[in-house]
Amino acid sequence: MRRGLVVGNWKMHGSKASVAELVTGLKRLTSHADADLAVCPPYVFIPSVVDGLAATDITVGAQNVSDQAEGAFTGEVSAGMLAEFGCRYVIVGHSERRTLFADSDKLVAAKFVAAQQVGLTPILCVGESLAQREAGETLTLVEEQLLAVIDSAGIQALSKAVVAYEPIWAIGTGKTASPEQAQQVHAHIRQVVAKASSTVAAGLQILYGGSVKADNAAELFANQDIDGALVGGASLQIEDFAAIYNAAG
């Protein structure tokens, strides 16, 4: 049985005051025996969030990482640094990185490998644009994004990773994929992995992301291949985030 997982991606939001408030709210949540909770703040808030949540079961991740271990890479943050500061997860390949910062499949795979080398669990994001969905390319595109990582990291690497299906047209738009649309892609992701290893496929947590809210989380989680959510906007409101977590537990 796979555990549920709900991850908040705070993106580039927050201030010292709002982060302190969110941490206070997170500390009050009751944890579920069968579902985990994690948050991914902007880099600068990571140390205070790790400290603030130290007495809880909630873990912390970063939203991006360098593919390089160290060196003259102005503005970058290495996986080793994230691990030293108490991160458990790191998001790689978010569509905002792929589209706004030109993170290619190859770079995403290198970031994935760099994260695992220091023991971080990568959350690999895949997903199609509206044009790609309308052209009927969703399943092939998601498969390509996944295979780019499997080809360079190996299938066993997915036993220490999480995959998040995030259709670009559903991110921050209030337009969620229907539970059937999401389940179809999740099942495809699991099948692609199963071709290489049925054991890895069976254990892989696959999250859905894209306008997940308190009122649509339960119907998404009711599907057999949807193991949780990667939540943007609603993760900044403690009541909404708590409701999504409760739906997963």
Active site residues: 94, 166
Separation CA 245–CA 31 (nearest Å): 9
Please report how close the Cβ of residue 123 comes to ligand 13P at its closest, in angstroms.
9
Q: Which is nearer to ligand 13P, 155 or 179 (CB)?
A: 179
Within positions 156 to 185, which residues make up the interface with ligand 13P, using CB under 6 A? 166, 171-172
Token pair of 66, please? 């360098």
Q: Quick one: 2 exposed, middle or buried, by C-beta within 10 A (0-12, 13-18, 19+)?
A: middle
Q: Which is nearer to ligand 13P, 124 or 171 (CB)?
A: 171
Please identify which residue in 107, 189, 230, 242 interacts with ligand 13P, judged by CB under 6 A.
230
Q: In 3D, which of 24, 80, 91 has the Cα closest to residue 51? A: 24
Please report how close the Cβ of residue 11 comes to ligand 13P at its closest, in angstroms.
7
Question: Who's near 134: CB < 8 A, 6+ residues apart?
Answer: none
Within positions 92 to 111, which residues make up the interface with ligand 13P, using CB under 6 A? 94
Please give, one letter per residue, the 3-state secondary structure of 111-149.
HHHHHHHCCCEEEEEECCCHHHHHCCCHHHHHHHHHHHH
Please identify which residue in 5, 9, 97, 185 interacts with ligand 13P, judged by CB under 6 A.
9
Site residues (vs ligand 13P, CB under 6 A): 9, 94, 166, 171-172, 209-212, 230-234
